[in-house]
């Protein structure tokens, strides 16, 4: 008998288990149930197997239940939502529901409590009539055409051929176009289920051919309840506050929450409790009570205490960007509690009470200003090369600005002669501010009125055919151009013409540098068209000392601005707010003059009759 005729089991029996093989490796240990590779993460182990197991998507489940009950099943479904809310799980459940078969059930059904003939194969991804594809790896049009070629063939053993395409937004434009015709008129045995996190990248031509379901973010309370059930199933002990931190960090994603719980469970040995402090350290979060204390320091304008509190948090490993997010949440919570009371906050009573106290003490304007500054500070923190330094600079700004009055309050204080910033601002009160503030605005209005509003001819009158004698000045000529809506000519006249002499039918002027060569001809032709008589344009070579309308307006505005900046009231405002600038000058409406009767103290006519 040759060596090749020896049975394999006999050869294995004669081998000494304590010896190594010919390559020097020791005998392989038999596989056991405790092999590390056999572990399955919680997100896969507890993946929903029925629609009743889907959490937070009751609206979608209700719609699908009604559609299946009525027999109005669409040929294509579009599932969209953020990561981890159940898009792929819903697609697999739909594939099972469409092909559900068991004794007594011969049609599509959402009741998946008992596995049907095809359920296990679909769950394991090995059913030949259910194709699950990743659009990221099949973006080309040729691959889509190859896929669509198989659509026309009937299913092998199931009721429908189901095509699940994940991340469908990554298909190319040509691939989408190749899919259009089949999606418009699919064979009766084909169903399409698409899933995407970027619904805006899917062409509207595709969306219009699908029944769309928007899977919502799951509320933190629902996620916490789900995590508690998993802890009970896994005999794990996690504090309630720790579960709340995980749900908050998951941002509405059930899969993220379950993955974080998986990570938290290995922070301690089996049988020990996972505390909130361990979860907080794992997530890199700051203690909420500590960040509320930091927020209290900021709202009180205590810069040194705020910086010290942040450095303590940073020393414990808190992420600077997360600290800014916590401060944003506290600003929001304080504003909400100011409007609705502390019971509206989903926080422990002591923390809600502290934030409600801040909201009761601060004004709505102050809280709104803090919110805007925190938003900008959070963006700076994410982009800064040193996030901790960015947070400290932001805290200094926030503490300084927390107790500053709003613009309206500061204006009232200035008018009353008080320090507009208050005792904590450290700025000296402007001397003489009260004396100038009351009449300062009236004086400014009187000074600016003749400059900002130069008298013009009546535009309605000038819009009609104008006689030559009606134009008595160069300003009236400009007003006529304005009334005729010839803006190009008006801009050129104001910018380049320096008027020297004016007589009806004749204008003598000089041209500024850069003037169009045809400007005199255009002006003469337009005036003749509008007045009915010819106009003579005499151009002088020198216009030294004469301003164009545009140059005169710039000079007058500069003079007005200079007078305004010298006003005691404006000086007081700029002293109180360093760096403030005058952005715009407006003409105030002139109040109507009182009647003679009111001036002399006589009663009005109706009062006299009484």
CB 77 within 8 A of CB 194: yes
Judged by average pLDDT, the poorest of 78-87, 386-395, 422-431, 567-576 is 422-431
Q: Please, how many CA atoms are within 13 Å of residue 349, restricted to the half-sphere of its CB?
A: 0
Give the residue with greater pLDDT, 180 vs 553: 180
CB 335 within 8 A of CB 309: no
Question: Quick one: what percent of the chain has pLDDT higher than 90?
Answer: 15
Q: DSSP label at 218?
A: P
Report the candidate in 53, 417, 464, 441 with the shortest Cα–Cα distance to residue 222: 53
Query: pLDDT band for position 12 (50/70/90)?
Result: very low
- Residue that is written with structure tokens 């008006």 in the block: 490
What average pLDDT does range 581-585 have in this prediction? Answer: 77
Query: pLDDT band for position 46 (50/70/90)?
Result: confident
Q: pLDDT per residue over 451-466, tens digit each?
A: 333 444 443 444 444 5
Give the residue with greater pLDDT, 406 vs 368: 368
Fold type of domain 459-546? GMP Synthetase; Chain A, domain 3 (3.30.300)
**CATH number given to 288-403:** 1.20.272.10
Tell me how crowded residue 275 is: count the other CB atoms within 10 A of its CB. 17
Q: For residues 320 and 327, give the distance between their C-alpha atoms in angstroms, rounded to a whole number.
A: 11
Domain limits of the chain?
Answer: 43-214, 220-283, 288-403, 406-453+549-604, 459-546
Provide CB contacts within 8 A for 9, sequence distance 6+.
Answer: none
Rounded to 5°, the CA angle 60-61-65 comes to: 120
Report the candidate in 211, 241, 237, 223 with the shortest Cα–Cα distance to residue 85: 223
Which pLDDT score, from 0 to 100, does residue 307 have?
93
The counts of H helices and E strands in the chain are 28, 10
Which pLDDT score, from 0 to 100, does residue 113 have?
85
Q: pLDDT per residue over 102-160, tens digit each?
A: 888 878 888 888 888 888 898 888 889 998 888 877 777 888 888 888 888 899 888 99
Which pLDDT score, from 0 to 100, does residue 593 have?
57
Question: Alpha helix locations (H) across 18-166?
Answer: 42-45, 58-70, 87-98, 119-123, 141-149
Provide CB contacts within 8 A for 190, sequence distance 6+.
Answer: 75, 151, 160, 161, 162, 163, 182
Judged by average pLDDT, the poorest of 295-304, 403-412, 553-562 is 403-412
Which pLDDT score, from 0 to 100, does residue 378 have?
92
Query: pLDDT band for position 475 (50/70/90)?
Result: confident
Q: For residues 314 and 312, give the distance between their C-alpha atoms in angstroms, rounded to a whole number.
A: 5
Correct CATH for 43-214 of 2.160.10.10, 3.30.300.30, 3.40.50.300, 2.60.40.10: 3.40.50.300
The answer to whether domain 220-283 has CATH 1.10.8.60 is: yes
Which pLDDT score, from 0 to 100, does residue 229 have?
92
What average pLDDT does range 236-248 have in this prediction? Answer: 88
Across the chain, mean pLDDT equals 78
Q: Which two tokens stand for residue 321?
A: 């960007």
- Residue that is written with structure tokens 């219009």 in the block: 208
Q: For residues 420 and 528, give the distance between their C-alpha atoms in angstroms, rounded to a whole number.
A: 60
Q: For residues 402 and 334, give the distance between their C-alpha atoms in angstroms, rounded to a whole number.
A: 14
111-145 per-residue burial string, b: 16 or more CB within 10 A, e: under 16: ebeeebebbebbbeeebebbbbbebeebeebebbe
- In angstroms, what CA-CA distances link 58 with 55, 65, 227, 318? 7, 10, 18, 37
Q: pLDDT per residue over 187-234, tens digit each?
A: 999 999 999 988 999 999 999 999 999 988 888 889 999 999 999 988
Query: pLDDT band for position 590 (50/70/90)?
Result: low
By DSSP bridging, strand 497-503 and strand 237-238 are: unpaired
Report the candidate in 82, 48, 93, 80 with the shortest Cα–Cα distance to residue 195: 80
278-317 per-residue burial string, b: 16 or more CB within 10 A, e: under 16: bbbebbebbbbebbbbbbbbbbbbbbebbbebbeebbeee
Q: For residues 45 and 341, give the distance between their C-alpha atoms in angstroms, rounded to a whole number.
A: 42
pLDDT above 70 (res 601): no
Q: Which two tokens stand for residue 520?
A: 């005199």
Report the candidate in 298, 296, 399 with the shortest Cα–Cα distance to residue 357: 296
By DSSP bridging, strand 497-503 and strand 190-196 are: unpaired
């Amino acid at each position: 008998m040759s060596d090749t005729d020896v049975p394999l089991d006999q050869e294995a029996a004669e081998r000494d288990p304590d010896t190594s093989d010919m390559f020097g490796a020791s005998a392989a240990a038999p596989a056991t149930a405790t092999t590390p590779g056999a572990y399955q993460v919680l997100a896969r182990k507890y993946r929903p197997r029925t629609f009743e197991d889907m959490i937070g998507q009751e609206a979608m489940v209700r719609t699908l239940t009604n559609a299946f009950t009525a027999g109005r099943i669409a040929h294509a479904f579009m599932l969209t939502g953020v990561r981890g809310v159940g898009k792929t799980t819903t697609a697999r459940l739909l594939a099972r529901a469409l092909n559900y078969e068991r004794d007594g059930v011969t049609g599509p059904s959402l009741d998946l409590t008992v596995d049907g003939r095809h359920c296990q194969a679909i769950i394991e991804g090995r059913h030949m009539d259910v194709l699950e594809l990743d659009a990221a790896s099949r973006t080309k049009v040729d691959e889509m055409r190859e896929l669509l070629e198989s659509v026309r063939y009937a299913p092998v053993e199931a009721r429908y051929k189901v095509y699940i395409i994940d991340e469908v937004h990554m298909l190319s434009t040509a691939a989408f176009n190749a899919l259009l015709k089949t999606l418009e008129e699919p064979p009766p045995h084909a169903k399409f289920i698409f899933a995407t996190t970027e619904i805006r990248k899917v062409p509207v031509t595709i969306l219009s051919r699908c029944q769309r379901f928007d899977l919502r973010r799951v509320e933190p309370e629902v996620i916490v309840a789900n995590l508690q059930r998993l802890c009970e199933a896994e005999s794990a002990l996690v504090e309630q506050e720790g579960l709340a931190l995980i749900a908050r960090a998951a941002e509405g994603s059930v899969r993220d929450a379950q993955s974080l719980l998986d990570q938290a469970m290995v922070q301690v040995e089996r049988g020990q409790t996972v505390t909130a402090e361990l979860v907080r350290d794992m997530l890199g979060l700051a203690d909420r009570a500590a960040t509320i204390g930091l927020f209290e320091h900021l709202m009180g304008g205590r810069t040194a205490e705020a910086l010290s509190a942040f450095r303590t948090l940073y020393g414990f490993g808190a992420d600077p960007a997360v600290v800014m997010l916590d401060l944003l949440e506290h600003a929001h919570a304080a504003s909400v509690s100011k409007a609705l009371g502390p019971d509206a906050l989903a926080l422990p009573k002591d923390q809600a009470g502290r934030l409600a106290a801040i909201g009761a003490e601060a004004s709505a304007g102050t809280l709104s200003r803090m919110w805007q500054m925190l938003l900008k500070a959070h963006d700076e923190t994410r982009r800064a090369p040193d996030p901790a330094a960015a947070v400290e600079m932001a805290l200094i700004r926030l503490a300084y600005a927390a107790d500053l009055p709003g613009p309206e309050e500061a204006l009232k204080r200035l008018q009353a002669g008080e320090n507009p910033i208050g005792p904590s601002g450290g700025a000296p009160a402007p001397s003489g501010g009260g004396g100038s503030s009351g009449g300062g605005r009236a004086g400014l209005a009187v000074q600016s009125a003749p400059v900002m509003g130069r008298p013009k001819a009546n535009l309605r009158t000038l819009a009609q055919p104008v006689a030559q004698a009606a134009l008595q000045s160069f300003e009236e000529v400009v007003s006529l151009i304005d009334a005729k809506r010839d803006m190009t000519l008006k801009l050129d006249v104001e910018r380049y013409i320096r008027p020297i002499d004016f007589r009806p039918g004749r204008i003598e002027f000089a041209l500024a540098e850069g003037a169009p060569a045809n400007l005199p001809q255009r002006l003469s032709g337009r005036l003749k068209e509008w007045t009915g008589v010819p106009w003579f344009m005499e151009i002088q070579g020198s216009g030294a000392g004469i301003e164009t309308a545009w140059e005169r307006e710039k000079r007058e505005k500069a003079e007005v601005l200079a007078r305004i900046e010298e006003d005691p009231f404006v000086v007081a405002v700029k002293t109180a707010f360093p760096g403030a600038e005058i952005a715009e000058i407006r003409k105030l409406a002139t109040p109507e003059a009182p009647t003679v009767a009111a001036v002399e103290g006589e009663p009005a006519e109706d009062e006299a009759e009484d």
